[in-house]
Chains A and B, each alone.
Chain A
Amino acid sequence: MPNLKSELTDEEIAQIVQKGESESFGLLVERYQAKITRYARKFLSNYHEIEDLVQDVFIKAYTNIQSFDTSRKFSPWLYRIAHNEFINAIKKKAKESLSLFDLDSLFPHLISKEKAEDEINEREIRQMIDKCLNYLDFKYREPLILRYFEELDYKEIADILHIPVSTVGIRLKRGKKKMKFFCKKYHE
């Protein structure tokens, strides 16, 4: 007999967990474990405690699941928790500097959405991210991962990072430009 719960959406499962059926939370962990681990590995490439961090993300998600509004999408909510956990990990280790204030978020920008990129272009960008992401600042790294690996849209990325939608566009554009520069410099 097929597991009926596996047919449910993330939001429906979250609602079931909120009603007290804790076991169903395992389904959400299974669905997002690979994604969150990939996000962590790419974002925190110099860190060794990735598995513990990912586990902490899910534990925090379970603890706070009653704050999740089931009329909204589950994935940005979970990625937001992951983002906070990873930022806290960086601050704890203080391996790399995090800028507290960002001028990009202060002033309005035209939303510079990418032109419809074909698959080849996207594949190229993913390959570049694999090779050269570490050369970039955190503020450029995260939007690139969320856009090209987690395939989230601008609004979802804005919700995860708590930055303006136009800033997401700016960071993606600048991030790609910088990444191309570093790839050319160190890998060609």
Chain B
Amino acid sequence: MNKELKKLSLSEKVIDKVNSGQVKMKPKTYFVLKTSLFFLITFFVSLSIIFFISFIIFSLRTSGIWFLPSFGFKGIGIFLISLPWILILTAIVLIIVLEIFVKKFSFSYRRPILYSVLAIIAFVVIGGFAIASTQMHPGLFLKAQQEKLPVAGGFYRGFGNTEHSQIHKGTISNMIDDGFYLKTFNEEILTIIINPKTKLPFKEKVKVDDQVLILGKRINNQVDALGIHMIKNMPYKPMHRNR
């Protein structure tokens, strides 16, 4: 009996608070708006990560850093040092934020975190490569160079075409006995020296008019090539800052 009274009393207490207006039910629209906002933020965070990853790919291709691992350990070392770590860390932080958002959904929290993290990484990397294969970034980069991109212009100019002192890109203008002359995208002529240790393009011989990327230290106008990479389908258009 006592227990029954106690039971009723809690129920009554709650209903009394409801009837007196101390406790109010939040309207359905509040939850609809909250859920919509949640989805919207999740969507924009996903888009931001895809943007960053595609931009990283674009920036690596534009600078030539993308091709360095094909030059062996030395190339891999320079590749790791030259990666745009600020952009990569930003993308990692955004992935963690997205994981926190996705963990609110039952399809995600019912499975181990590793699964959702791997799914997110696969999604953003595929998305990043897809966007990187379009002309979006080259187009925006060109606009940024022409000072026609107001908001992201500085970002594109700052990160879009980072020059590396040991990477030289251009077109072969003349073949010589121990190498060739390279006309760079900056209209300079460099003498590229090929030695027995130079990593050459697989199965192919370089010839005049080939577009190539050279890894090697430049001394005056001469470069002892550590590696040569053919750029058949130029993933970027050679662009220069209008300065």
Interfacial residues, chain A to chain B (CB-CB below 8 A): 18, 22-23, 25-27, 29-30, 33-34, 51, 54-55, 58-59, 62-67, 105-109, 155, 158-159, 162-167
When the two chains form their complex, are residues A26 and B15 in contact, meaning their CB atoms are under 8 A apart?
yes
> B160: shortest Cβ distance to chain A, in Å?
37
When the two chains form their complex, are residues A106 and B14 in contact, meaning their CB atoms are under 8 A apart?
no
Interface string of B6-40 (1 = CB under 8 A from A): 01101111110111000111111011000000000
Q: Which residues of B contact A108 (CB under 8 A)?
A: 111-112, 114-115
> B31: shortest Cβ distance to chain A, in Å?
4
A36-B28 Cα distance, complex, nearest whole Å: 25
A62 contact from B8, B14, B28, B114, Cβ within 8 A: B14
When the two chains form their complex, are residues B18 and A62 in contact, meaning their CB atoms are under 8 A apart?
yes
B61 at the interface (CB under 8 A from A): no
> With A29-B10, A66-B25 as given contacts, are A59 and B112 in contact (CB-CB < 8 Å)?
no
B241 at the interface (CB under 8 A from A): no
B85 at the interface (CB under 8 A from A): no
When the two chains form their complex, are residues A63 and B25 in contact, meaning their CB atoms are under 8 A apart?
yes
When the two chains form their complex, are residues A107 and B114 in contact, meaning their CB atoms are under 8 A apart?
yes
When the two chains form their complex, are residues B15 and A34 in contact, meaning their CB atoms are under 8 A apart?
no
When the two chains form their complex, are residues A66 and B27 in contact, meaning their CB atoms are under 8 A apart?
yes
> A68: shortest Cβ distance to chain B, in Å?
9
Q: Which residues of A contact B24 (CB under 8 A)?
A: 63
Main secondary structure of the interface of A (DSSP, over half): helix
Q: Which residues of B contact A64 (CB under 8 A)?
A: 26, 31
Chain B contact residues (Cβ within 8 angstroms of A): what range?
20 to 34
A150-B110 Cα distance, complex, nearest whole Å: 20
Main secondary structure of the interface of B (DSSP, over half): helix
When the two chains form their complex, are residues A63 and B26 in contact, meaning their CB atoms are under 8 A apart?
yes
Of chain A, the residue at the smallest CB distance from B3 is A34
Q: Which residues of A contact B103 (CB under 8 A)?
A: 162
When the two chains form their complex, are residues B23 and A65 in contact, meaning their CB atoms are under 8 A apart?
no
B109 at the interface (CB under 8 A from A): yes
B122 at the interface (CB under 8 A from A): no
A164 contact from B12, B26, B112, Cβ within 8 A: B112
B208 at the interface (CB under 8 A from A): no
Q: Which residues of B contact A59 (CB under 8 A)?
A: 14, 17, 23
B220 at the interface (CB under 8 A from A): no
When the two chains form their complex, are residues B25 and A65 in contact, meaning their CB atoms are under 8 A apart?
yes
Q: Which residues of A contact B11 (CB under 8 A)?
A: 26-27, 29-30, 33
Of chain A, the residue at the smallest CB distance from B18 is A22
A167-B110 Cα distance, complex, nearest whole Å: 9
Q: Which residues of A contact B109 (CB under 8 A)?
A: 158, 162-164
When the two chains form their complex, are residues B15 and A25 in contact, meaning their CB atoms are under 8 A apart?
yes
> B108: shortest Cβ distance to chain A, in Å?
9
Given A63-B25, A106-B112, A166-B112, output 10 extra A-B contacts at Cβ < 8 Å.
A23-B15, A30-B8, A55-B14, A62-B23, A62-B25, A65-B25, A66-B28, A158-B110, A162-B103, A164-B111
B7 contact from A30, A63, A109, A155, Cβ within 8 A: A30
A22-B20 Cα distance, complex, nearest whole Å: 12
